[in-house]
Structure 1
């Protein structure tokens, strides 16, 4: 299904993350504000580390696609994850990996789109890894927008 045939799940919010809260515009709740000028960032680290976002979809839904937008700064080639894993927590219990994507390459300002295995859930975890080292010698994950879509 194309994005045009799907609906964005409204009311998503982050319940926990490995990110930082240094600024109002660099906060995990900004992932769902619809603006390409605000977003989520991890802490600046000396060594690469997997990052995570725990997300409540607002109610029980069946997401079939995830979209993540890269920061629209062409000179910054770092920050966007090379690997994304999405885990759903079905209502009946347990957990299920509904997407694993490796070798992700997205141009500045563009969207990564991943097809999710359909699972009825209210909670998901998005795990990211594989950010490149910055010229400063630090590792820092940045995602400007996130969307979950349903049929």
Structure 2
């Protein structure tokens, strides 16, 4: 049964597709953060290992929330690596060194990219697709990424 929530079917489809891109970005960032957690080396290993764990756990909750938002508006969430890689605007990078500062710079860049993408779409959700709920939702998501980026940035001072 399709949701009857005051948003046109075509608009729900557009919102869902944009949310799928956000989910893909979150999944790629989650994977890169897990990689940092597993593979960081150096004199600050333990503190970075614990820090990256806290970050990927927060990203795990975000992914679940985005997927559930997609489901709540009547669409299915992508759930394959192939789909995520075709939807994301982030890149998979291979690192030559596994130092904490290098991982932090890379993850910070991805968070900032997601923040910009979310900020650019807040008004689209509200004005173009008439979905104030999703507009509000991604505003909160943007704020979460801003805090996560701040935490990463603080390590580089």
Same-fold call, TM cutoff 0.5: no
Asked which structure has the greater RCO (Cα within 8 Å, sep 6+), the reply is: 1
Larger % of helix: which? Answer: 2
How high is the TM-score relative to the length of structure 1?
A: 0.24
Q: Larger Rg: 1 or 2?
A: 2
Larger % of strand: which? Answer: 1
How high is the TM-score relative to the length of structure 2?
A: 0.23
